[in-house]
Amino acid sequence: MLVSENAFKLWAIHPTADRYTFEGADTLVEFAEAHGMKVRGHTLLWYRYMPDWIEKATFSPEQWDQVIHEHITTVVSRYKGRVQYWDVLNEAISDGGSGALRQTNWSDGLGPDFVDKVFTWAHEADPDALLFYNDYGAEGMNRKSDRVYALVKGMLERNVPIHGVGLQLHLTEAGVPRPEEVQRNIERLAELGLQVHITELDIRLPDRASADMFETQARLYRAYLEACLAVENCTAFVMWGFTDRYSWIPSFQAGFGHALIFDAAYRQKPAYFAIRDALAPQSSKLQDFGAGCNCTP
């Protein structure tokens, strides 16, 4: 499965009101198809990194409906049947105690039922795509994950089309949610009938990480994978990149890096071997990875 780190984001695919730039997303989808891989489309709407034409717009409520509906319809229908999963909404719940939905220019414009609207529009554009709410810090059992649970439960009760929750898991090896708790959280979401995807796993280490830290990192990678494998409805385990050569961490978190399973020279790290070992007994359960290509599973 491939995930687009940036190509589907509104700033990348729809940088000005009258212009779509599909090249990056097209390239990624074509690569996935050539290699028998599925695609997670990340993400239709996010409170951060919106282009000025959205951030600074002064549309009427009717215009907001029209603009966001048009964006979702254009992007989702272009990749209908080719992008199997969409992160429709990314990180909509605030970190503060209230756990309220974040306020943005566009969500205020769409009104209090904006969550229901955007999922409905995505579903209308591709009824077969599975639609996800994706967030960070809501992986274990905590106030934020309670809030995510309440949000998606409410959507299901209102018959809003939502099919899954994405748990990002951007972590530092020093402070992580307990894997048993992550499993419990996955289980409660599964009991609602939802799928869960681990969507953005990476575990950053200080620049001068010790060998012990790489071992801890490996144990954690394995533990989260096992938490996912333990629950049938946890159907994808996606890392936010695979090589430390191309990772968002060093440029966003000064002094940290080494977050992925291959190092910057593409050498396997302990985390690579840890997840390989955890997958070995499961290999018969893995979907026919590589079908349609010459790759080695």
Contacts to ligand G3I by CB under 6 A: 5-6, 9, 49, 90, 136, 168, 170, 200, 248
Distance of CA 267 to the CA centre of its chain: 25
Among all residues, which ones are annotated catalytic? 91, 200
Using CB atoms within 10 Å of the CB of residue 112, give its burial: 0 to 12 exposed, 13 to 18 middle, 19+ buried. exposed
Nearest to 240 by CA among 219, 222, 262: 262
Indicate the residue among 90 and 104 with the shorter CB distance to ligand G3I.
90
Number of H helices, E strands in the chain: 11, 9
Q: How near is the Cβ of 21 to ligand G3I at its closest, in Å?
A: 10
105 vs 156, beta carbon nearer ligand G3I = 105
Name which of 6 and 73 has its Cβ closer to ligand G3I.
6
Looking at the DSSP bridge assignments, the partners of residue 206 are 256
Provide the minimum distance between the beta carbon of 170 and ligand G3I in the complex, in angstroms, as a whole number: 6
Instruction: Identify the CA nearest to 257 among candidates 140, 172, 164, 158.
Output: 172
**Which lies closer to ligand G3I via its Cβ, residue 8 or residue 278?**
8
CA distance 234 to 196: 5
Count of alpha carbons within 13 angstroms of residue 160, beta-carbon side: 24
Q: Which residue is nearest to ligand G3I (CB)?
A: 248
Between CA 215 and CA 271 the distance in angstroms is 7
Rounded CA gap, 178 and 108, in Å? 35
* 84 vs 90 by CB, closer to ligand G3I: 90
The span from the first CA to the last CA of the chain, in angstroms, equals 12
Nearest-5° Cα angle at 111, 70 to 97: 120
CB of 168 to ligand G3I, least distance (A): 5
Q: Report how far residue 278's alpha carbon sits from residue 144's, in angstroms, rounded to the nearest whole number.
A: 29
CA pseudo-torsion sign 33, 38, 42, 43: positive
Minimum distance between the CB of residue 19 and ligand G3I, rounded to whole angstroms? Answer: 14
Which CB sits closer to ligand G3I, 73 or 253? 253
The least distance separating ligand G3I from the CB of residue 9, rounded to whole angstroms, comes to 6
The least CB distance from residue 282 to ligand G3I, in Å, is 27
